[in-house]
Amino acid sequence: MNNYTCTCCGTVGLTEGFVEDAGQSAPGYARWIEGALERGILGGAKRMSRPRRQIEAFRCPKCGHLELFATSAV
């Protein structure tokens, strides 16, 4: 248990988790990438050499709201 507070309903104590990325050749978790989204000629996001961080997602057990934190670099 932690002391994170839901910014939607005010409940204290959120459930830790993360956002899964189940895409092919994905590492299994979604990442936060610094800088606005830019698309390449094939439609994919340009992300070479951008700083990236893992995303921690804390879920409110009462209303389901997610609080997202981009924490350690990956």
Binding residues (CB under 5 A) for Zn ion: these are 6, 8-9, 11, 60, 62-63, 65
Q: How far is the CB of 8 from Zn ion (least distance, A)?
A: 4
Answer for the pair 37, 50: CB distance below 8 angstroms, yes or no. Answer: no
- Cβ proximity to Zn ion, 4 vs 29, nearer residue: 4
Q: CA–CA separation, 24 vs 18, rounded Å?
A: 18
Min separation Cβ 4 and Zn ion, Å: 11
Q: In this structure, are residues 6 and 65 in contact, taking their beta carbons and an 8 Å threshold?
A: yes
Output the smallest distance, CB 12 to Zn ion, in A.
10
